[in-house]
Amino acid sequence: MAKKYVYEFREADHRNKKLFGGKGASLIQMTKLGLRVPPGFIITTEACKDFFTPRRAEIEELEALLMKQPPPEVRDAAIKKLFSIIDSLDMPPGLWDSVVEYMHRLEAEAGRKFGDPENPLLVSVRSGAAVSMPGMMDTVLNLGLNDQTVKGLAKQTGNEWFAYDAYRRFVNMFGKIVLGIDDKLFSGVWEEIKRKYGAKEDPEVPVEGLKEAVERFKAIIREQYGEFPQDPWEQLRLAIKAVFRSWDNPRSIFYRAANKITPDVADCTAVNVVTMVFGNMGWDSGTGVVFSRDVATGENKLYGEFLPVAQGEDVVAGIRTPMDIEEFRKRFPHLYDELYRGVKLLEKENKDVQDVEFTVERGKLYFLQCRNAKMTPLARVKTAVDMAKEGVISKDEAILKVSPDHVLQLLYPRIDPKANAKPVAKGLPASPGAVSGQLVFHPDDAVKWAREGKKVLLARVETKPDDVHGFYAAVGILTSRGGMTSHAAVVARAIGKPAVVGAESIEIDEAGKALRVNGQVLREGDWVTIDGNTGNVYIGVVPTVEPELIPELDELLKWADEVRRLGVRANADQPDDAAIARKFGAKGIGLLRIERMFRRPERLELLRKVILAENKEERIKHLEPLYKMLKGDFKEIFKVMDGLPVIVRLIDPPLHEFLPKPEEVLQQIYEAKAGGRDVKELEWLYNRVKALQEANPMLGHRGVRVGVTYPEFYYYLSKAILEAAAELKREGHNPIVEIMIPQVSDVVEIRYVKEHGILPALSDVEKEFGVRLSVKIGTMVETVRACLTMDKIAKEVDFISFGTNDLTQAVFSFSRDDAENKFIPQYLELKILNADPFETLDVEGVGKLVELAAKTAKEVNPDIEVGVCGEHGGDPKSIFFFHKTAVDYVSASPFRVPLARLAAAQAQILEKLGGKGPEAE
């Protein structure tokens, strides 16, 4: 049997988004819920896949090239070749016959005939993948119009102006989307006609101007392509192929790559052929986009825009300023009530905030599409919590609604109120975050400048889907036109970029690469700051501050804490880090790095003397004052974390990092000699630094090896830690101190530094202060041998914590700095690696060691505590893996603590549901 490629809305299953696409699924669902939906049918994603199959290998090769964002000349040649290949393809066998059959069914239902000059049926041909890709693929409206049917439409509706407005739109759209003609040719002519007839807005152009536009648009097509197709069936065939082709347009390819939309998630687009309803019939008609809640703030009220005498593309293109939905309510109260009921029904059915497209034709409301809304992180969190409290969703569902990235974005900076900066313009706050960047006016320039390491702000009059690569390259987006549902706003919210849109007091000259505001002219490269939280625009770089946790996020994270198995601690360097971590809900410090404590000049000088000392006595002489300086820092951090565990890692980095470079000392010798000064001390320093130099310091004299060779070093560091705890205990505090030994590869190393450094310090402090200290001693697991000999190590320690950064280096034999700068980007591009192993844990290699060592540790020492303190402790995908092992807690940087709390809960919930990983909208 031939494959079934075509389905009516009534006969399909809206739950099968993979087959029918998101847009098709919404049309099916809305039809079955009894909402007024224009009739139509869906061509499945299977048809699209089979369309590409004959030349799939060539197409995939060109897709891979375009994903690399090659130079414009290479890109344009690749696009030309790609489209040439696609245009040579035929529809899969049986598809066209099915389309014709279903068009005849549609004719019978609508009571109109496709191509009939007296009573024409017009349709839209719309794309729709399994996941939302706003503006990335193509749609054709008003299909079926030609020189004859336009007269029939005018007669049928009694509105010649409307008929020719629809025709000029169709010829323009068909030329741009189906035939691939540059839209600037059409828009240039249209602006010229508007000037000719003194029309500021499109609806003001008289019917004579519309007829002139149609003829001039057809002339453009004749010159660029050939005669405009007058046969509606040929128009439909070409439009379906064009929608298939849009799956592989450059912006769609780039969007899928940037958002990790793999073939198992969405592997082609469906095509929706829908009876046209017209928002441009008159002032009792229009088109709009509405959200079931405010997508900026999360407030429980309809939020959106409506544009009278318009069709759908007018709203998202931002070429005219729409009225907000409150104004729509005042003008059309009965329509608003019907819209409200439908939107809220969809929200309840889909258990999420809905983004609904609708059209009003002569006072009658039609629902055209619904999907889960793209929201600001603030709105995403607030709506999830509110909907759980309202009983629409469960607490677990609320936790899964919010992605860890949403949490991270909520911690984006905002403008520092102390800066007293005065905005020069105000637009709509489309996507949150305050950011400064150098102005660029073209997406290609944004990519080029970003590759050079510059922070760029993309400024456009209005954005188009083809600009998406510039969005990803820029730190923020600014437009002078458009509303909260414009393309710029939707995409910026989707990818988490700060954006201000519709700043109408700003004049943007894209061709001249200039921005004019309040009599000032800014050019490419000038610095501008935007605040996506307020919509304000500033000239220059404005200072920012970190935000606080909003109440709804705090509540959501408390729900997450009730669910998760994994504990969450924080990595810290100083007291401020500890304070932030505690505020964000960390249940202790999983890694206190003491290296930064040495960076103060007087301390660094003493530390250098310790390192350069040639005997034990000399080292002790300098360690005595040094440990007293460090004690105050420890005391402050323990006080901040009072009652919670603090794991202090003894000194870890190679000692050479604290010494001057030999070449620097040599330069000082030359300068001293030239000045006639004595150089004996400098020469001694040079010889000593050279003597301490190592061929591979990261694998040399560092970590526990320093404690073994210089046990007095670990003794005095431990004494500083323990005296701080003893003093606090005497003052009535409850410090919980744990000491961690780094870079261990053999259990004997642990025994040695405990017996010769840590335990003697503990004994001395307890005697001196007359207090009993309960101190855990553990090790950081960051060598392969430590993992493999965990059966011995775990018996000797109270806890272990995986230092996954160094462990990853050891397993891969990579130097992180060299790898990330030299070859990891290429490894990712060539798919040798699926992810940067320093960002997301390598489960197959490093993960196996973690799993084995954690399991072994628990078997030989059931009371042992197992943690992770590398950067992977703040990565959601890595957290999901750790959840499945014997790891007890993860430790993340302070600002990633809320993210880790959420991801750990999502891992627990998804495990219960049989899911694969922490995923959210």
CB 736 within 8 A of CB 645: yes
Tokens at residue 816, please? Answer: 């992180």
CA 494 to CA 195: how far, in whole Å?
A: 37
Neighbours of 817 (CB within 10 A): 11
Q: Is 487 a catalytic residue?
A: yes
* Residue of 656, 869, 872, 883 with catalytic role: 869
H-helix or E-strand spanning residue 662: helix 662-674
Among candidates 539, 523, 540, 541, which has minimal Cα distance to 445?
523
CA 286 to CA 274: how far, in whole Å?
A: 17
H-helix or E-strand spanning residue 556: helix 551-563
Bridge-based pairing of strands 589-593 and 645-649 is parallel
Contacts of 187 (CB under 8 A, 6+ apart): none
Among candidates 913, 896, 17, which has minimal Cα distance to 394?
913
Bridge-based pairing of strands 123-129 and 269-275 is antiparallel
CB 777 within 8 A of CB 760: no
Which residue type occupies 716?
Y
Contacts of 426 (CB under 8 A, 6+ apart): 503, 505, 534, 535, 536, 537
Which residue type occupies 889?
Y
453: left (phi over 0), alpha (psi -120 to 50) or beta: left
What is the CA angle 376-377-378, rounded to 5?
A: 90
Which residue type occupies 104?
H
CA 561 to CA 578: how far, in whole Å?
A: 19
* Residue of 14, 406, 469, 487 with catalytic role: 487
3-class secondary structure per residue, 690-720: HHHCCCCHHHCCCCHHHHHHCHHHHHHHHHH
Kindly list the strands in the beta sheet with 303-308, ordered across the sheet, starting from the edge strand earlier in the chain.
Answer: 323-324, 303-308, 286-291, 354-361, 364-372
Q: Is 756 a catalytic residue?
A: no
Which residues are annotated as catalytic?
Answer: 487, 869
